[in-house]
Every structure is written in C-alpha cells, then in structure tokens.
Structure 1
C-alpha cells in the first residue's frame, strides 16, 4: 500500500526544494501571527490553520505522484464545471462581505467557487497557449483566449466581487505578457480596461460601498475616522512596530496588541499589520525577502518547464502571487484600495491555504518533470 505513495527518487531529486522550504517557512510564520491576532478571541484559529497546513502538505505530497500533463484531459471539465458553480451562486449563493459568491453546505462550511475559478482559468489559458504554440498575436487565437477570461470575470463582477475579478485580470495579463503578446496590444488592452472602469463606475455593477472605498483611498485624511478608520488603525499599528517590533507574545501576558484590538479582520485581510507591529521593519522585510525567493523560484521553474503547458501554468500562478502580495500589503499601508484579497500562505483561512498549496504543488510537479526522459 505504501509503495503506491512512494515517489521515484530520480524524479524527486529534480524538485524545487527551495520553493518547498520557503513555502513551509512562510506558512509557519503565518500561523505564529494568526496566534498573535486571535489569542484573545474565541475560536481555535491557530489550531485550525495548523490542521489545514498539515492537510495541505498531505495533498501536496499526493499530487506529486501524478504527472501534471494528465491535467490536459480534464481542463475543460474543470473550467466549465466552475463556470456552472459561479452561475449557481446567483440562485443558491450566500452573501459574504457584500458579494453573493459563496455556497454554504450543511454544517456551516462555505465554499467560494471563484477561488477555484482562477485556477481553472490558468489551466485553460495554459492548455490553449500550448495548442496555439504561443501564437498569441494571431487575432483568432487572441480572441479565443480573451473569451475564456472575460466569461468568468464577468460573472464574478456580477456577484459583485471586484477583488477576485482584479485577481483574474492580472493573472490573464501575466500569462499574456509571458506568452509574448505584442506590447501595443497590452497597452491597448489596459486603455480599454481604463475606459471600462469609467463606464462601470456609472453602472449598477459598482456598488456605493465600493465607490466609497476608492474615494476614501484618494482622500485618506478627510475620511480617516469613518470609511478609512480601519486603514488608519492599521497604519497606527504598523508605525508602532518601529524597526524591531513589539515582539511576540508567547508568554502568559494577556494584553492584546493594538492591531488585534482595533483593526477588524486582522487575522485575514490585515495580517500584515500584525506582522509589522510585532516584528517591525526587520520582520516585515524578512517576509518580503522570502516572498521574493518564492516568486523568483516560480519564474525559474516557468523557464525550465519541459512544455508550454507547464510554463504557462507557472506564469499564471506567479502573476497571482505577485498581485495578491502587492494588493494585500498595499491596502494595509494605504496605497491600494481595501479588498478581500488575503496574503498568500499567511492569512487565516483553511480553503485559501489549501488552494494556495495546490498551486505550489503544481509548480513543484512541473519542476520535477522538466526533463522529458529519465535514465
């Protein structure tokens, strides 16, 4: 029985161990900070995150047994299945943070189809790029690829979940860029998006609370005690950390940190504020260095992939990580609008951690099989 779960050593030695080790380090650091954010709250956030980390590692290990190339046969099923689930949220979905994008199961467990839709979109674009042999500047090929992006993004915007729609957009942009799309087309696309935003701003798709967030970002001082109160408290907490931070609270101290006490969602959306408060500029910089190594290794694995399919998968997930990290940290320091995008591998959330590990597992799988023949 155990032999079925034993990985060929010739394949395993090709795995990107640096990527794996950095992933584990960031995840463990995230658990420490989730403890800092929730130790005075009801609920076992830290324990649950640790359990989901163990589950994620098991899923990662099992997934390494299968050649990622087998996914080609199931990409369409996965993509269209997620489209159906996205549409289903319109009828049976529950609303969380203003977006009707969740499906609730008996027992209280909630599932967000959009989380998996971004993976499905990456796989679909990767497969089509492979089929088109990276001829992305061919008009017919380009329009087919755009259609596969616009469909899920349109449904997600209708929920409305602008944060996830932004994630899907930057994933697609990253894949197109890596595939060699003409810069003129990319520039034209960005202009079209800007015009689209202007049109959407005056449409029912953009809700009042979303407009308020954008206005508050552009005029923070005038709104620091109302809409920007969460951001104001976050920045106070970050500033209080200084260079070295206030230090972790592993002892019997029962006092609560400033961010944990005054910043809502400090264990999820605003976890970076907890990190900056307790670990200071040095700790925050170390985390950013680890993220830098993570992204660098993803780029290397994308370049070394044995085929276009694997390379584009890596490119898609790399784009997701870059955008999610910049967006999440940016909104805690007031340079990006506040959205529900969490900090990868760090923020509290079992489903988010599992899906992120699935992404890492795919990249590791691609790195293991970059050679076409093994002797």
Structure 2
C-alpha cells in the first residue's frame, strides 16, 4: 500500500479540477471569515486562523495520500480503519474531554481529536465495501441487517456522548446510501419510523440534558424561548439581516470592530460561521458560498454515476449525502428553519478534525474519479 505514493502524470490529468479548486476556495474563504469574525481579539483571531491554516497543510498532505493510493487497494484496509475508529470512540467514552456538554474529544497535547469525525468516514467505507461484496443486493434480509449492524456500532457510541448533531449526520449518510442503492421504500419508511421512536426514547431517557432540548426546540419560536435557548438563533438572525445584499463588512475597517454576529453570536467560528459570512458579505457572499458547494456536489454526483465499481460509487454517495445534509442543516439552523444541532459547515467552520476528515472525504471522491478510465502504462 505504501510502496509507491507517486502519482503518474497520466492519472493527474484525470483529476477533477472543479472539485479540487472548489475545495481549496471554500477552505480559504473559511479561513478569511474565521479571522474576520474573531478580529476583535487579536490574539484569538491570529491563533484561530493560524491553527486552521496548520490543519489545512496537514489536510493537503492527507489529500495527497488518499489520492495517490488506488482506492481499490484501500478496499482491503477498510476493516482496520473502521474498527480503529470504533476503538477511538470507546476510548472517548471513558477518557474523553467534555466540550459543550458532550464527551466527544480526545486530547493529545496540543492536538484535539474528535473520533466521531473519523467514524463518519469509517461508516461510509465499510458500507461501500460490504455493498461491493454483496453486489449491491441490499434487499436481501441477511445483507440488510449486516449493513445495519456496521452502521449502528459507531452510532451507539456517538449517541451516548451525547452528540445528536453527528448522530443525525451519520443517519442521513446511511439513508442516502441505502436509498441510492435501491433499498425497498417500505423498509426506508420503517426505518424513518424507527428513527422517530428512537428519538422519543432517547429524548426521555435523560441522556439529553434539558438545556440541549431547549436549544433544539428554540427554532419553533425563538422570540418566546428563554434567554439561553433562543439567544443563539435570535442573534444569528440579527447578524444575517444586517448584512443585506452586499454585506456590511465591519471587520474590514481598521477601528477594531468585528461585526454584530462576531460580538453576539455564540460559537460564531464553528456552528454559526454562516451568520458571520452573511453579515460580512451579504446575500451575494452567501450565494457565492452555496455556489461553490453546488459545483462540488454536482461533480461528486457525476463521479458517483460513472464509477467503475460499487465500492467507488457508494463512497461518493456517502460523501455527497454528508455534504448535502450538513450544509442544509447548518444553514437552515442559522436562519431559523431547522433545529440547532451543533453541525458544522463543511470546509468552512473552525475545527481541525472536521477539516481533516472532510478533505480526506473529498480526496476519496477524487481518487474514484481519477481511476474511472483504464490508464495504459
């Protein structure tokens, strides 16, 4: 696997330039806005922007590795990656660090790792491998329950952290894969019903804390919500509204101002970074962001359709499902259309684990796309 990490020039010509350029532009756009929304505290702004750039360098190295190694070779190492992510989740359960009410982080000195981000990719790879071995026969009862087993093992650990945002991400990744490969719609309907029942059980089990419940339901009526649960959304809406069409860009001034969202929206550099972007650059800046995402997702879908095997196709489907849900959920919660769940904006929000694993995901899609055609050496 590691003998030859040099990419042949004929393969490089096959790399999807649109995906690569869109990814880099999104990351740099994110770094710029992370700096702008934390500019009020020079030390914090420099630290956050610098840390994100360091993770960008690490992510580019990972991108090269995941592009250089033929994804058909990665096929044999999927169980190691998958079960390794499960072990990390198990360690996190007992030795993890609590952040925002969830025990979901492992600290290795200055490095802070969120194993659930790794498990997200592990689920995609394992389902892709199993579906390839099953020749896509998902409606076989035995095959279906095998797939459900591999999907559920990491999710159980993530639910108990509790990290409802990542739980939802994993669910919609699995749903996207199952739907696309042709799972019977009655089974999908039953799965959605089971999800509703599971949410009701978890909701009343005491795993989710009262303040988390209040934050989740505050979008239904933010004005009536108390100062804690409705504060995030109310301030987010004010920040977005102040951006107008062209944006206010207070952070570009030299008077130390950072903008309303930066000063008043909690977690503005992570969960609510879209609020800062919409304020700084207005509707046009937000549309630019969504357009770049659109190019990225469109090209990923194209590669999924033309992949030479089921393994590659399902990898792309899973990653497209992640991007679609994460973008819709994050933007939706900042504008009050969806519950606040703590889901970050892919490639934009601050966070090393999120950036690294998302770039790894994009690299896997590029890998599949590069090797769709037979290259004669």
Give your verdict on TM over 0.5: yes
Report the 3-state secondary structure (helix = DSSP H, G, I; strand = E; otherwise coil) of the residue aligned with 1:338: coil
Task: Tell me which residue corresponds to 1:319.
Answer: 321
CA distance in 2, matches of 1:93, 1:262: 29
SS of residue paired to 1:269: coil
SS of 2:340's partner is coil
Q: After TM superposition, what 4+ stretches of structure 1 lie above 3 angstroms from structure 2?
A: 3-6, 248-251
Deviates more, 1:281-290 or 1:248-257: 248-257
Cα deviation digits, residues 31-55 of structure 1 (max 9, x gap): 1111111112233211222222233
Once the two structures are superposed, the pairs formed by residues 234-245 of structure 1 within 5 Å of their partners are: 234-245=236-247
Question: 1:322-355: per-residue Cα shift (whole Å, max 9, x none)?
Answer: 1111111111111222222110111112221111
Q: Which residue of 2 aligns with 1:151?
A: 153
Does the CA-based 8 Å contact 2:15-2:366 persist in structure 1?
yes
1:186-197 → structure 2 map (5 Å cutoff): 186-197=188-199
Superposition deviation, residue 261 in structure 1? 0.7
Alignment: residue pair count: 372
Tell me whether 1:78 sits opposite 2:81 in the alignment.
yes
For the residues of structure 1 that align with 2:10 and 2:111, how far apart are their CA atoms?
40
CA distance in 2, matches of 1:159, 1:52: 25
Stretch deviating more after TM superposition (6-15 or 264-273)? 6-15
Check 1:224–1:279 CA distance in 2 against 1; reply closer, same or farther (3 A cut). Answer: farther
**Other-structure match for 1:120:** 122
More moved, 338-347 vs 4-13: 4-13
CA distance in 2: counterparts of 1:77 and 1:49, whole angstroms: 28
What is the CA–CA distance in structure 1 between the aligned matches of 2:162 and 2:6, rounded to whole Å?
44
Which of 50, 55, 60 is equivalent to 2:58?
55
Aligned twin of 1:263:
265
- In the alignment, structure 1 segments of 5+ residues that lack a partner are none
Q: Mapping of 1:210-225 within 5 angstroms?
A: 210-223=212-225, 225=227
Cα RMSD over matched residues?
Answer: 1.7
Q: Displacement, 1:248?
A: 6.2
Q: TM-score, normalised by structure 1?
A: 0.95
Farther-moved stretch of structure 1 (134-143 vs 149-158): 149-158
- Specify which of 294, 297, 315 is matched with residue 295 of structure 1: 297
Pairwise mapping of residues 66-215 of structure 1 onto structure 2 (< 5 A)? 66-105=69-108, 107-215=109-217
- Structure 1 residues 87, 250: CA separation in 2 closer, same or farther (over 3 Å shift)? same
**1:322-341 counterparts in 2 under 5 A?**
322-341=324-343
Q: Which residue of 2 aligns with 1:30?
A: 30
Which piece of structure 1 moves more, 161-170 or 183-192?
Answer: 183-192
Q: What is the SS of the residue equivalent to 1:100?
A: strand
Could you tell me the TM-score, scaled by structure 2's length? 0.95
**Partners of 1:173 and 1:353 in 2: CA distance:** 23
Q: CA deviation at 1:80?
A: 1.3
Q: Give the 3 Å change call, closer, same or farther, for CA 83–223 of structure 1 in structure 2.
A: same
In 2, the alpha carbon distance for the partners of 1:252 and 1:202 equals 50
> Which digits, 9 at most, give the CA deviation of each residue in 1:289-343, with x for residues without a partner?
1111111111001111111001000001110111111111111111222222110
SS in 1 for 2:180: helix
